[in-house]
Amino acid sequence: MDAFENIITRRSIRKFIDKPVDDQMTGKILEAAMYAPSARNTQAWSFVVINNRELLDKLSVIHPYAQMLKKAPLAILVCGDKNLEKNEAYLSINCSAATQNILLCAHSLGLGSVWLGVYPRNERMEPIANLLNLPADNIPVSLIAIGWPDEQPPHPERFFKGKIHYNDIW
């Protein structure tokens, strides 16, 4: 699958079969994440690999829209490191770029995934940081549930010419 097809065919997957994701695939996904662009090339991110069933279940309780974590064998928490990037807006933008790389790499490996928003909601950030013992200078930005897909959502039409503008003509 080429890059364009990978981007176009990726869908959020919220149903997973009962099968673990092997360490080699997880490593590849993390490598893809770390090759994301970042403002001033700060690479101000850290990644928490969560494959402990008890922690995944607890996260599904903390996060109001993350029921799929009850079945997902794996989640990755993308954290922004405030020591490396002081500007929180850039921190979240950089981590978002890394998150998208994770989704696309997972899809290229035949895995399914879904982005679960954490930042900037304090009511999610605080309990997640506490549960996973994050150092105070690392803020959780996004959580990604990953596993082997048990659904195939339809392909939506998303290309709308009306969203494109040329030069100074809106």
Ligand X SMILES: Cc1cc2nc3c(=O)[nH]c(=O)nc-3n(C[C@H](O)[C@H](O)[C@H](O)COP(=O)(O)O)c2cc1C
Q: What length does the chain have?
A: 170
Distance CA(21)–CA(114), nearest Å, equals: 15
Q: Is 9 in the site for ligand X (CB under 6 A)?
A: no
Q: Smallest gap, in angstroms, from Cβ of residue 85 to ligand X?
A: 18
Under rule CB under 6 A, which residues in 22-81 are in contact with ligand X?
Answer: 65
Instruction: Select from 115, 131, 134, 150 the one that contacts ligand X (CB under 6 A).
Output: 115
Stretch that binds ligand X, among 25-33, 48-56, 79-87, 111-119 (CB under 6 A): 111-119
Joined together, the tokens standing for residue 57 give 């279940």
Q: Is 107 in the site for ligand X (CB under 6 A)?
A: no
Which residues have C-beta within 8 Å of that of residue 131, sequence separation ≥ 6? Answer: 55, 58, 59, 62
Q: Is 11 in the site for ligand X (CB under 6 A)?
A: yes
Q: Is 114 in the site for ligand X (CB under 6 A)?
A: yes
Instruction: Select from 6, 12, 46, 87 the one that contacts ligand X (CB under 6 A).
Output: 12
Which residues have C-beta within 8 Å of that of residue 127, sequence separation ≥ 6? Answer: 62
For residue 85, what are the CA distances in angstroms to 54, 89, 96, 117, 143? Answer: 32, 9, 14, 20, 20
Contact residues for ligand X, defined by CB under 6 A: 11-12, 14, 65, 114-117, 153
